[in-house]
Structure 1
Amino acid sequence: MSMAHLSRVERESYTAAFLRVDTDGNGALDLPEFAGLCTGLELKLSRSQVEDIFSQIDKDNNGIITLDEFLAAMPHTVPEETREEANLRRSFNHVDNDGDGFLTASEIRLALKESGRDVTLQYAERMVGKLDKDGDGKVSLEEFVAYSKHKPT
């Protein structure tokens, strides 16, 4: 089965998430495992939405989702806006080294350095200034998501 609709990073991320929640190691997810996967991917879905998505992915209606069924359906089953927000949350959490729910200039500078862009602390502070809407000197998840969704292209 071709997974050309997924980027390499998406395929690896979804596969790793699938394997993490396959608690019984049977190569398939039941509904509780799938609900755990949605939580792990930081998808904000109601119980009924999780059940609906599970039903859509479980093409042979056998009550379990195989990795192939999951990879084939995943990008099309979850609304793009929900996927985009989940990706932004994962990016934010990766940069938020101390896990306090805010990005500081130092954390942004370190993340840029890890990605090959060595910037000054002053540059990172200016970036914080652009994203920081409430003036507290740091960037919240909401500020990060709002900026990322509406930044000029």
Structure 2
Amino acid sequence: MAEGKQSAEIMASDVHKKIRAAFEAFDYESNNTVDVREIGTIIYSLGCFPSQQDLHDLIAKVEEDHTGYVHLDSFLPAMTKVLLEHKFPPIPEDVLLQAFEVLDKEKKGYLEPEELTKYMTQEGEPFTQEEMDEMLTALADNENHVCYKDLISQLTVDPDM
């Protein structure tokens, strides 16, 4: 029984290190706080992909008195629980591929930026135009195509990491 407890403590310690490292990357003033607007990016970088509602709920738990900042002391236990309970898992690669293939009605193997923008800003949890511009800058190839088969490995996270 003690061995299982020790293993759980080591796992929690590793999780704490990952969370601290992700948090500190956005702690520009090195004061153990980050702007609340960075929390989603931190969570995504840790391999968690909550819905916008789940993200807002988590932020409401950890934001200090609606100041616009989140302190590591509030974020660490909440995010540790999320990671240890495997909440907000990434979408599996095959499901992501199927979604792209549904959008690619002509079976070209890529989407035009205009097509992707239409889908991403008008459906589901819509992206802002600024988010789309950033994404397209990063994803479009030299021919201004978004080749989704090449991108799927970038959009998914290895669950064993």
TM-score where L is the length of structure 1:
0.45
Higher relative contact order (CA 8 A, sep 6+): 2
TM-score with structure 2 length normalisation? 0.43
